[in-house]
Each structure stands twice: as C-alpha cells, then as structure tokens.
Amino acid sequence: MSYIELSTENKGSQGNAPPKNPECEEFKTNISGDNLILKNTELFNGMSYADLLREWLIWLHSDSPTYRGYRGEICYLHGNISYYYDSQTNIRKQAEKFENKARNTDDKIFRGDIIFSDTPIFVPLINSIYSVNETLPYEGRTLESIADCLFICRRDMHEGGPMWFTIQKKGCPEINLKNKACYVETPSFKMTVTKNSPLRDYFEMPIAPGEHDTVTTGYIAMIKNLPAGEYRLRYGGIGRGGYFTDAVHDFIVKLVEKKEEVGKRNFKVEHSDSGYDEFKPPSLEDKLEPMYNKPKARQSKPQPKQS
C-alpha cells in the first residue's frame, strides 16, 4: 500500500525538481524559523513541553484518544500503536508497518484531520513510558521506584536509533524538521488508564486499568499553527531493542479570520479548488443557547399592609 505524493503536480515534464515557488519558499522560511514550532524554553498556554508530554500520555490512555475539533483543542498525534500477541510464539508483534492517516493511491480516501489555522499539533517522534511495579518485557525485572522507571526511559532514548520528522505542503518539496524536535522528561505523575481505553491493549506492553505512578521521556515537537492549505507530516524513530514507530498524517487546514466580537470566528476556505466540500462548523451559540436561558425572576407575593 502506498500513499499519494503531494508534489507530483508541480514536477517538471522530465521528472526534474519543481521550479521554485514563492509560496513554498515563504512556508519553508517560516517553518524552519522560530515562528511556527514551539521552542524548548517556550510555554504554550502556560504549559511547558514536559506538561504537554504528560497531558498527551493521559489523553492517549483515555476513553477517547481522538481529535474532536473543539476551539483551543490541541491535535495530539501518535505512532503506529498496533501490537498483538502472536498465537504461535506468544511474542508481541506490530500488525501495521506505520500509522496511515494519508490518502492511498488505490482508494483516494482522506484519513487525516481537518483543523483550523490556529490549531496546535503535538508530534511525538518517539518516547518511552514506564510505571512503578511494571515488569520489563525482555529482562523480567520489576521496576520498584520512579528512579528505576526514569533510568530505563533514559536508556531507551539515548541508546535508540535514528528519528525522522518532515512536513510537506501540497505542491511543495518535503522539509526536514528533525532538528526542531526536543528531548523532554516529565516529572512523575499519576497516569489513569480507563477500562474503556481503545488503545491500552495495543501498546508494546499492555497496561491494566487504574492509576499508575509513571514517568515518560521522548523526542517531541509542537507546531503552534499552520497557514491554510494541505499538509503531510511524517514522523517516527527506532528505539532500543529494535522498537520501531512510523506515522504519516494528512491535514487540511482551514483559515480562521478573527472578528472584533469576542467569541466569534469566521471560517473560510483559502483553496476552494482543492476538491473538498467547504467545511461549515455548527453554530456554537445555537448549541449553548438553551443552557444559558435566564430563569424568570420570582414574583414575590405582595405583603399585607401593617395597620
């Protein structure tokens, strides 16, 4: 299975490199600079990269690890979480080679996300997660403290293999962003794994429902916003012991024009010739209006006059 290339229509007649496009050059300058990707020392809505990594992990083990498109919501991504027990060897294996959220050449189905130009995208290239009382899968040793967990997490990251992180705007060359990824460690925290978590059985090692004293490390990046258009992200890495994660994810980014009125947003499609139906979000005011109807004031009974 292969996915559609985003830059084929811009290639020369003999398959040469596409001519330089001012729009592509402007995007390359912006994404390679300091404007669109969160820096390691920068905060996002008061949260550091360590905070964001912790919140991502809690989200990943929740009942609904999906992007819902709410205003101000972070679009969290993840790699190919597809492990299962081989019935012949009883060894954990990956069912899929990569997390495919792109259009394939055979079915043309859009598998990605439609987001807005002020939507942040959290990209985990590769990470390591361990909890107290967890047993190491290949060593048989039980981790008895957060210090044990942190040691194994650091070892996984520092003894791993290559990583990759690229972005491609439709009609433009692919851009390597690996140097924008940050190495991050979280403090220990309580991670809640819900009973209805749809992913908990598909991690490299399944984890039981409940609360776990956890720590995680990883190489991550967060794109703060993207201009309107179509994009593809490719990210992943090779960890210690042959662990492998890879993902490809398509995005349609809609332009958001902010009006002067507080709480109002106007949506429009910048590339109307893209072949997609125009996205018209439901009216938030219509949905919330019944909740904010003011109750009628109580009518106090007239008091009899005192004689």
Which residue range is the domain that position 106 belongs to? 8-292
Least confident of 23-37, 71-85, 277-291: 277-291
Q: How confident is the model at residue 302 (pLDDT cuts 50, 70, 90)?
A: low
Per-residue pLDDT tens over the stretch 239-274: 887 788 999 999 999 998 765 444 445 544 444 444
Q: Is 39:52 a contact under the CB 8 Å cutoff?
A: no
Residue 240 phi, psi dihedral angles, 5° rounding? -65, 140
Cβ proximity of 175 and 167 under 8 Å: yes
pLDDT given for residue 292 in this prediction: 36
Give pLDDT, residue 17.
57
Q: Is the pLDDT of residue 147 over 90?
A: yes
pLDDT of 259: 52
Q: Tally the domains of the chain.
A: 1
Q: Write down the pTM of the prediction.
A: 0.77
Backbone dihedral angles phi then psi of residue 272, each to the nearest 5 degrees: -70, -15
Q: Are strands 113-116 and 189-193 parallel, antiparallel or unpaired?
A: unpaired
Q: Give me the pLDDT at residue 241, please.
A: 79
Q: Is residue 144 part of a domain?
A: yes
Structural domain includes residue 303: no
* 125 is a domain residue: yes
Cα end-to-end distance, the chain, whole Å: 93
Identify whether 178 is part of a domain: yes
For residue 12, pLDDT over 90 is answered with no
- Res. 298: pLDDT tops 60: no
Tell me the pLDDT tens digit for each residue of 179-211.
999 999 999 999 999 999 999 888 888 889 999
Q: How confident is the model at residue 26 (pLDDT cuts 50, 70, 90)?
A: very high
CA distance 85 to 25: 47
Token pair for 237: 């890495």
Distance (Å, whole) CA 172 – CA 9: 10
CB 254 within 8 A of CB 228: yes
Q: Hey, what are 78's tokens?
A: 């993840």
Residue 186 amino acid letter? T
122 has a pLDDT exceeding 90: yes
Q: What is the 3-state secondary structure (H, E, C) of the chain?
A: CCECCCCHHHCCCCCCCCCCCHHHHHHHHHHHCCCCECCCCCCECCECHHHHHHHHHHHHCCCCCCCCCCCCCCEECCCCCCEEECCCCCCEEECCCCEEECCECCCCCCCCEEEECCCCEEEEEEEEEEECCCECCCCCCECCCHHHHHHHHHHHHHCCCCEEEEEEECCCCEEECHHHCEEEECCCEEEEECCCCCCCCCCCCCCCCEEEEEEEEEEEEEECCCCCEEEEEEEEEECHHHCEEEEEEEEEEEEEEECCCCCCEEEECCCHHHCCCCCCCCCHHHHHHHHHCCCCCCCCCCCCCCC
What is the pLDDT, as a whole number, of residue 289? 37
**Amino acid (one-letter) located at 174:** E
Q: How many residues does the chain have?
A: 307
The more confidently predicted of residues 132 and 290 is 132
Residue 197 lies in a domain: yes
298 within a domain of the structure (yes/no): no
- How confident is the prediction for the chain on average, in pLDDT? 81
Confidence of residue 109 (pLDDT cuts 50, 70, 90): confident
d(CA 21, CA 162): 31
Q: What per-residue confidence (pLDDT) applies to 260?
A: 46
pLDDT in the model for residue 129: 94
Task: Write down the pLDDT at residue 64.
Answer: 92
Confidence of residue 279 (pLDDT cuts 50, 70, 90): very low
**Residue 256 burial (CB < 10 Å; 0-12/13-18/19+)?**
middle
Whether 282 shows a pLDDT value over 60: the answer reads no
| Residue 248, domain member (yes or no) | yes
Q: How confident is the model over 12-39, as a mean pLDDT?
A: 80
307 lies in some domain = no
pLDDT for position 271: 43
User: Would you state the pLDDT for residue 215?
Assistant: 97
Identify the weakest region by mean pLDDT among 85-94, 158-167, 230-239.
Answer: 85-94
Decide which of 301 and 156 is more confident.
156
> Residues 97-105: what's their mean pLDDT?
77
Residue 145 has pLDDT above 90, yes or no: yes
